[in-house]
Amino acid sequence: MVEYAVVGSGIGGSSMAAYLDAKGHETVLFEKEPYLGGCSSTFMHKGFFYNTGATTLAGYQEGHIVKTMFDAIGFTPELVYSDPGIIIIQNGKTTPRYRDLEKFLEVLEENYPHKKHREFWTLVYDIGTHFYEMQGHYYSSTSKWKKILSLTSYLPLLLKFQRYLRVNAYDFIHSFYGEVSEEYLQFLDSQILIVAQAGTKKINFFTAALSLGYTFNETHYVKGGMSKLFDSMTETMKHVKRKTAIVDIEQKEDHFLLHTKRDTIEAKNVILNSTVYQSGQLFKDKKIKNYYKKYESLNNYQSSFMLYMTIKSDKKFHHHYQLIQDQMYPHTLSHALFVSFSDQNDDTLAKEGHYSITASIHTDLRWWEDTTAYTSQKNELESILIKSVCDILDIKKEEIVHHMAATPKTFDHYINRSQLGGNAITMKNFLPRLPGNDTPIKGLYHVGDTVYAAQGWPGVMLGVDNLRKLLHV
């Protein structure tokens, strides 16, 4: 019998498993696919390599939760520093999101002139800095008593920024700026959507500020592809079971039985990296299934449409771009396309003289359920996105060596989740209302982007850190 069984090798699952193993706890990590990382993995198709979904590593710096957890694991990733974190292109305007506030403001004021920029972005910078300085500020748990006790460390942040927790981001921005162009509002909204998974009309300003301040953290490119990071993080673990799907889980008196197609593993504790609203499907016990039913309403059906391309080019491209257009792309929820290029010197993802490209855009997974329209809809959006990437970034069609697309149905097939990007952090489900990392079921826990503290490397790592505190490990 192992002490911990971790199901799913995404950011939360791999990090938690590697940490537990490093601390001497017998741990087994299960992954359905041959590649570790889940939505953040790297895969090969017809001899071409692509990062699956997540393409950036933000927050690997001293004092930040991402580096803190990697250090706790005893792991140092192989990274390439990327500054600016993103280059935003909108209506012919190029705005690099430099980490340095002054450097960024200089370009911003040239592209979108406004007397209030310095005051606004200083506030954004201040909120983000203080938030990550307060690591462990909130002790997320299903226990209301534990939540109340943890608020003693949360109070300094609450008192400093409480007014921004209660005000809608859209209203605040309009009130703050006064007159502001629709173009600039789209510039803000498109960036916020990447992190918060919702626009300004649905979130508080505190969440919006954290989202806009994302690139003020150090941003890195992972050399060799995202899966290389997970491979390296877990390489000292004795028990990593790839190509091993969990068929179902049985709860016994003091342990769990995890059934695969080949065998059964006994574990004292189970940590799930699955979405909280799909996890009930894993269990035989009706009481556990019923427990998870209350979370089904959290599924906002938001997902991503992905474009993968390999090009042959002698041009030098930056690691990450956001391409914003006036009109919303068809079959999507966004005006903006996020495009990531492999590093010019990374011959693992793409051979010399080539680039591996991963482009993503938000969509509603329900729009891809109609089997009669599925293929034509997929082909239409793929063609539109290819044209956008090529036109805006000056790539010739003949430079494209390979391309393919993935819909929410594709992701459901390979990684058992059709919703991508975590839950939107709206006014209704701000941090204290997110599901905790523990459950009322003894020995059953969660990590990942659908529980505290939500999506992205910083959010998921805050959840991992929170769980290790709950487990006292």
Give dist(CA 6, CA 135) in Å, integer: 24
pLDDT of residue 84: 96
DSSP state of 229: H
Give dist(CA 85, CA 262) in Å, integer: 44
Domain borders along the chain are 2-43+59-80+224-298+425-471, 100-217, 301-415
pLDDT of residue 416: 78
Residue at 389: amino acid letter = V
Q: Which CATH number fits domain 2-43+59-80+224-298+425-471: 3.40.50.300, 2.60.40.10, 3.40.50.1220, 3.50.50.60?
A: 3.50.50.60
pLDDT of residue 107: 98
Average pLDDT, the chain: 90
pLDDT of residue 413: 85
- Which distant-in-sequence residues (6+ apart) come within 8 Å of 306 by Cβ? 52, 53, 358, 359, 360, 405, 406, 407, 410
DSSP state of 204: B
End-to-end alpha-carbon separation of the chain, Å?
19
Name residue, tokens 């044209």: 387
pLDDT of residue 291: 92
pTM across the whole model? 0.92
Task: Show pLDDT as tens, one digit a residue, over the chain (473 residues).
Answer: 999 999 999 999 999 999 999 999 999 999 999 999 988 999 999 999 999 988 999 989 988 889 999 999 999 999 999 999 999 999 999 999 999 999 999 999 999 999 999 999 999 999 888 776 655 545 566 666 666 666 566 666 667 788 888 899 999 999 999 988 999 999 999 999 988 888 899 899 988 999 999 899 999 999 999 999 999 999 999 999 999 999 999 999 999 999 999 999 999 999 999 988 889 999 989 999 999 998 887 777 889 999 999 999 999 999 999 999 999 999 999 999 999 999 999 999 999 999 999 999 999 999 999 889 999 999 999 999 999 999 999 999 999 999 999 999 999 888 877 777 767 666 666 655 678 899 999 999 999 988 887 778 888 998 999 899 889 99
Strand order in the sheet with 79-81: 57-58, 219-222, 79-81
DSSP state of 328: P
